[in-house]
Amino acid sequence: MPFTPIHMGSGILIKAILQGSFSLMVFGWAQIIMDIQPLFVILTGEGHLHGFSHTYMGSSLLAIVAALSGKYLSEFGLILIGVAKKDNPIKIAWRVTFISAFIGTFSHVFLDSIMHSDVEPFFPFFLENHMLGILTINQLHQWCLYSGLVGVALYYLTQWHIKKDKYH
Q: Hey, is 88 helix, strand or coil?
A: strand
From the list 33, 39, 53, the residue with the least C-alpha distance to 109 is 53
- Compute the distance between CA of residue 77 and CA of residue 59 in angstroms, rounded to an integer: 23
- Looking at residue 168, its pLDDT comes to 65
Q: What is the DSSP letter of 120?
A: -
Intervals of the chain under pLDDT 70:
1-3, 168
Is the Cβ–Cβ distance between 50 and 116 less than 8 Å?
yes
Q: Is the dihedral of CA 129, 64, 7, 12 positive or negative?
A: positive
Largest separation between any pair of C-alpha atoms in the chain: 61
- Looking at residue 162, its pLDDT comes to 84
- pTM of the model as a whole: 0.92
- Looking at residue 133, its pLDDT comes to 95
- Compute the distance between CA of residue 15 and CA of residue 12 in angstroms, rounded to an integer: 5
Cis peptide before 124 (omega within 30 of 0): yes
From the list 130, 140, 77, the residue with the least C-alpha distance to 108 is 140
Is the Cβ–Cβ distance between 56 and 122 less than 8 Å?
yes
Find residue 88's DSSP bridge partners.
Answer: 85
